[in-house]
Amino acid sequence: MSSVELCVIKSNTNQNVHIMTHSKTIVLTHGLFVNNKSWNQWKAYFESKGYTVYAPANPHHEGEPADLRNNINPALGKERFETLVRKLAEFIDTLPEKPIIIGHSLGGLTTMKLVEMGKAAAAVSINGAPPKNVFAPWQTIKTVFPVLNFFAADKIFRTSKNWFYYAFGNNLSRTESDKLYNEIAVPESRTVARDTLLQSFSKVDFTKPHVPLLFIGGTRDNIFPPTLTQKLARSYKEKADIKIFEGRSHNTIGEEGWDAVADYVYNWIKNL
């Protein structure tokens, strides 16, 4: 049996495509300001469930976060959103089956684009970023404004501990947040963040039939609030599933209780 079984149901007015996924491959895609190390616990979790799991780093994000902060690659400033999506698509094409793609933050938008490109057997966006054709709420604009800074050209954004505490560590004490910063924070490309607002590639076709798709948000997310998560899911013409976790921040994949979120995703996949 192939990894993806298609069942097509026709009516007089339209055609719906329902996908039952049997894929045992997962690709985890990370967001901005961190690298693939942020997925370490999830990778081990899904491997313990019998999946083959890949967590590739975005371009110029390979290595230990502390090393990336101390030795910034100037090429990072010229990185583009379309480039990182297409590189992920090329990687997925080397796999023996279409994977289940799970993305966090910007990785959520990356996941939406990969679904649109037909690269996924099923997909999950966790605290996902909006595409160009969905207006971001004021909360998002306020938080990411220092990153966008159109006067900074392609100057790399150096994540500060203060900004990180507000955006990622708001469920932690300042001491705990600073410790987490040391463990996972990395410099970031402003051009990638701007591309999600300015480049036509960053639009998502919400009318296109899609594989099973789950959107997860948290009520204490200071970057992408739950109202945005709900708006993204409801923008699709075909149904997408939504789950909002009470009291969880933007760092829901790494903070205490991350395994409850992973359990929810695992059970959602099992029940497709």
The per-residue DSSP string of 70-102 comes to HS--GGGGG--HHHHHHHHHHHHHTSSSPPEEE
The residue among 92 and 2 whose pLDDT is bigger is: 92
Compute the half-sphere exposure of residue 51: CA atoms within 13 Å on the CB side of its CA. Answer: 27
**Helix residue ranges, H only, 117-257:** 138-148, 161-167, 174-184, 190-198, 226-235
Q: How far is it, in rounded angstroms, from Cα 181 to Cα 194?
A: 23
Residue-wise pLDDT tens digits, 100-111: 999 999 999 999
Strand order in the sheet with 213-220: 52-54, 25-29, 100-104, 122-126, 213-220, 241-249
Q: State residue 267's pLDDT score.
A: 98
Total tally of structural domains belonging to the chain: 1
Q: How far apart, in whole angstroms, are the C-alpha atoms of residue 203 and residue 145?
A: 20
Q: What is the pLDDT of residues 167-209, one digit of tens each?
A: 999 999 999 999 999 999 999 999 999 999 999 999 999 999 9
* Predicted TM-score of the model (pTM): 0.91
* Domain coverage including residue 82: 4-270
Alpha-carbon distance of 47 to 25, in angstroms, equals 10
CA-based nearest residue to 32, from 109, 86, 99 = 109
Which CATH number characterizes residue 202's domain?
A: 3.40.50.1820
Q: What are the residues facing 193 on neighbouring strands? A: none
Q: Work out the angle at residue 10's Cα, subtended by the Cα atoms of residues 9 and 16, and round it to the nearest 5 degrees.
A: 60
